[in-house]
Amino acid sequence: MAKLNLSRRSFVGLAAAVGAAASVTTMPMTALADADDSKKDSSAEVKVVRSCCRACGKNECGVLITVENGRAVKVEGDAETGFNSMGNCCTKSQSSMQAAYHPDRLYHPMKRTNPKGSSDPGWQRITWDEAYKTIADKFWELKNKYGGESMFFMGGTSRIWTQHAYAAWLQLVGSPNAVTAWQICKGPRHFATQLQSEFAYSWMATSDRPRVFVQWGTATEISNYDESCRSTVDIANKADHYISVDPRRSGLNHEADTWAHLRPGTDGALALSWANVIVNKKLYKDLFVKRWTDAPFLVVEGMEPSGGQLQNTIAWRELKPMRTTLLKECDLKEGGSPYRYMVWDELAGTDEAHPLHTNDASGHLTYFDAETGLWENEPDEVWDQFYESPQPNILEGLVQGRIAKESPFNPEIDPALYGEYDVVLADGKSYKMRPVWDKWAEYLENFTPEKAAEITGIAAEDIDAMATLWATPIDPTTGYGNGGIQYGLAPEHACNSIQNNRIFDTLVGITGNWDTPAGNRGPTVGLFSGAEDAQPTIVTGHFAEIGTTDFHDKILGCQKIPFLSWWQQWADANAVHDAILTGDPYPVRGGLCEASGFMNQGNSTKYWEALNALDFFVVQDLWKTPTAGAADILLPVYHWMEVDCPRISQGSTGVQGATCRAIEPPADTKYDVDIVTEVYKAMNVPYADDPVSFGLPEGCTWPTSEQLFDKCVAPMGMTWREYVEAFQEHGWWDCRAIAPETWGTYRRYETGMCSKPYLVTPAGNPMKGMSTDTRKMEIWSPALETYYPDGKFNMPTWDPAPQTELADPNIREEWPFFMTTGRRIPVYFHSEHRQLPWCRELWPAPRMEINPEDAVKLGIRQGDWVWIESPNGKIRQVADLYWGIEPGTINCEHQWWFPELDQADKGFGLSTVNCLVNGDAQDPICGSSYLRAYHVKVYKATPDNSPFGNPVPCGEDGTPIICDSSDPRLKEWLPNYEIREEA
């Protein structure tokens, strides 16, 4: 795509001219500010700021913030231009004012004065200069004594500006150890699709309105994740058919046409049974399977694995040499290419060009060349045949986009998907070979609907009906499927993260729903440039330590989980706390955390012990969280209403806009982005080795946040201030309109525009296909075959989670209840907002859902406190009797802590479900923790079996938590406007 050079005015005009949305207004913000004259004080100074809400999730909900005399007085949905969220503004967003003006917010840097582990850290206010000097001195001390790897960096959910644990902090000290929520929160999906097709093509373009809406293990109607609340409801209502895959009844799936209430943790088995139906009924798109997957590539039984060099387009350095049994030209003859993958062409003919290749009357060998992206003798041409999307129900005024026509084989071939063939290799020996598809189809026979019914608890006829309905196009004339699969976190939490997500990716691909309208098509591409499009501040230009020979081998966890050294994007959280406590494989003595918590991964009790054993630990946050209770230094940060930041949809929503400062930051707080730069400065480390090549002004050693945003929007010919002005005037842009060659085009694998078009063919054209080693969707993974030579993970497969009846038939004898967890709560986002009065009033205490039949047997009534116990710990939650969950199964809530308790750990151990987790059971490929689908016991909490003689959880001094909406302590959290002025 050509580089743009647009002024603010011309950009607004361009976007309006191409019809970004019928509802988009070009009304200036002064008019917006004066739009409600009847309800405001005529003497007040009132303005309305258009922004992007960051109160939850990863979405881009458009909001309008009304500011009166400098104070935010209202947050509401942007009904004028927020087409992506349909003007929605949820309870979390509206409660944001209570966060910005909260009396318990952190307003000044603090240092610990009491020993680690004390109930009272003894926080003492310090200056920013003292904070920066302390951090710089301690970081240098640890680096010089133990090496950069002795420090780890934690990052939480995507607040855009709090993502430096993913890169910037690592680059500062030369550490490979990022501990991020990403490992258990959508990261496995991105990992799996990076491995198999394209990075993060797990995101589904629900904004395109699928004909069949499949919502699998997620509840976006109450938590803005892939799509916003109101939009999800609209999508479900307008779809021809709505399928919900969820172990429990939810508010929205009461309206589902099909509710598949599977046993927790059996998602992969159900998905493989769908694949079985699709394959056996031939509901797959034959051309896509043969042309764009490695399904026709040939697996040679007994051949010594070989290959070229593995690649990973987001890894820090090259990887180990490939070792795969897929047949390549180099296996057939000396000097042959390791990148030419062979297929069996069933069209009869001779193979005179390759006399060493096996021939017979039924076909011959030919190849696909992954170095050029071309089949044998295929012309190197740019594909330029398109048609307009006919997607129904899309919001009026949005651009439909164009669809690349399906290209044929040229010259014509017909790669075999089934069969067994003889081949003589360069070693002179004869072998048997079979297409990948044939081997996977054979494996799928383990998951017929009848067999899957026994695993999942869903009737065989229902499995068959769901798969058939979804995979059969309602309108075959469109040339694509009914929509992708909107899958959430649940399939990532039962030790099958990567394989489950590979199954989903394969299902979407073979049914014509990969990068098609309403299909799974990855992160939105807008008009920003660079790897950090949606999160423009996480990467610096300082790579002094990154990429050295042994750097990625130091990633903690790769000793147990070898594939982490391929991924290179996170250290295993469990391995990090083990290294802190044991010094094995090397000492970890320091760390820093940005807006994250230790309650989200592994066993929380063990993690708390580890954090308190560190020599030095820094926390940046709005609050004194449990994580902050283990810190040596606390740094106060801005709230989302106080920051600027460009924003493009992280998912497939397809919008571009911004978060814009509406109110001035209070007291001594600082912007996370600027904190990072200031620590670089305090350590005398340049933010970029070469500022100019990084896109910064000459001599800009330590840039401001605004200079970084100028860099981000520079390809548009604007400064950041001009971009903000344009956004205030225009509102949200439809990326299909402003980026027609990338986001506005579907089937980008046909055009060479998948992800970033950085690879070219010998003729200089964009290389078609995916960004994998084979340039295909890899149903057979050469990378996994290389790192796991036993072949267990070569294809998308499934195994039962270890602490289930499927793995241990006797487990219910001691642990009778099967537990799931992680459901979305309308007023919270994971561990956030427990101290906001409006939110806590609506949901004051953690709830455990239990079927009433089970409750009667246990003598439990609605509202009773109950103990939930595993071999690793026990917690208390309130019983919520609910017919929407199966007998024998319970649903607990995750990541509860209690800001009202005056103690360092904030009582996380009282109710946090991760205190029950077995930290040694993990996904074997990416290390994601075993967070749900395991067995526990449940019994009523009584005065006799509860500390302080009180079934209600209490703090260390006996103070009960807030568990009732009438608790007067909630009023102590009402906004305090005056404290913001203190310096």
298-300/430-435 β-pairing = antiparallel
What's the chain's average pLDDT? 91
Q: How many CB atoms lie within 10 A of CB 218?
A: 24
Q: What does the pLDDT read at residue 304?
A: 95
pLDDT at res. 14:
45
Catalytic residues: 92
Structure-token match 């990992």, residue found: 191
**In the prediction, which pLDDT does 758 show?**
65
Taking the whole predicted model, whether its pTM rises above 0.75 is answered as: yes
pLDDT band for position 277 (cuts 50, 70, 90): very high
* DSSP letter for each residue of 593-621: EES--GGGSS-HHHHHHHHHT-SEEEEEE
Q: Which two tokens stand for residue 260?
A: 């598949």
At 364, phi and psi to the nearest 5?
Answer: -160, 170
Q: Which of 3-12, 234-243, 561-570 is least confident? A: 3-12
**CB environment 623-656: b (16+ within 10 A), e (fewer):** bbbbbbbbbbbbbbbbbbbbbbbbbbbbbbbbbb
Kind of pairing, strands 124-125 and 934-940? unpaired
Residues 6+ apart with CB under 8 A from 323: 305, 306, 307, 785, 786, 789
Residue 781's contacts (CB-CB under 8 Å, 6 or more residues apart) are 195, 196, 502, 793, 794, 795
Q: What is the mean pLDDT of residues 20-28?
A: 31
- Confidence check: pLDDT of 531 > 60: no
- Asked whether residue 157 carries a pLDDT value surpassing 90, the answer given is no
The predicted model gives 538-560 an average pLDDT of 77
Confirm if 830 and 222 have CB atoms less than 8 A apart: no
**Would the pLDDT of 414 be above 80?**
yes
Residue 227 pLDDT: 75
Please check whether residue 248 is in contact with residue 218, taking contact to mean a CB–CB distance below 8 angstroms. no
Residue with tokens 């009790």: 605
Q: In the predicted model, is pLDDT for residue 529 greater than 60?
A: no
Q: Say if residue 955's pLDDT is above 70.
A: yes
Contacts of 965 (CB under 8 A, 6+ apart): 840, 841, 842, 844
pLDDT, one tens digit per residue, over 301-358 is: 999 999 999 988 888 777 889 999 999 999 999 999 999 999 999 997 655 544 444 5
Work out the pLDDT band at 540, boundaries 50, 70, 90: confident
At 451-490, the pLDDT tens digits run 999 999 999 999 999 999 999 999 999 999 999 999 999 9
Burial bucket for residue 359 (CB in 10 Å: 0-12, 13-18, 19+): middle
Could you tell me the CA-to-CA distances from 668 to 54, 133, 593, 617, 978 in Å, in that order? 21, 17, 19, 20, 14
Residue positions counted in the chain: 983
Decide if 543 contacts 716 (C-beta within 8 A).
no
Strands 645-648 and 633-636 turn out to be unpaired
Which residue in this structure is represented by tokens 């059996």?
266
Confidence of residue 278 (pLDDT cuts 50, 70, 90): very high
* Interior angle at CA 349, CA 343 and CA 355, nearest 5: 70
pLDDT class of 220 with cuts at 50, 70, 90: confident
Segment 168-173 mean pLDDT: 92
Residue recorded with tokens 């993260």:
497
Stronger pLDDT, 525 or 18, i.e. the higher one: 525
**Percentage of the chain exceeding pLDDT 90:** 79
Q: What is the pLDDT of residues 572-611, one digit of tens each?
A: 999 999 999 999 999 999 999 998 889 888 999 999 999 9
Collapsed DSSP state (helix, strand, coil) of residue 850: strand
Pairwise CA distance, residues 403 & 470, whole Å: 21
Token representation of residue 631? 């810190």
pLDDT at residue 156 in the model: 83
Residue ranges of E strands in 802-923:
817-821, 847-850, 865-870, 873-881, 889-892
Residue 11 has pLDDT above 50, yes or no: no
- Determine the pLDDT at residue 542: 73
The DSSP line for 39-67 is GS-TTS-EEEEEEE--SSSS---EEEEEE
**Lowest-pLDDT range of 29-38, 206-215, 415-424, 657-666:** 29-38
240, amino acid identity: D
**In which residue are the tokens 């360069």 written?**
426
Q: What phi, psi does 41 have (nearest 5°)?
A: -65, 125
Q: Which amino acid is at 287?
A: L
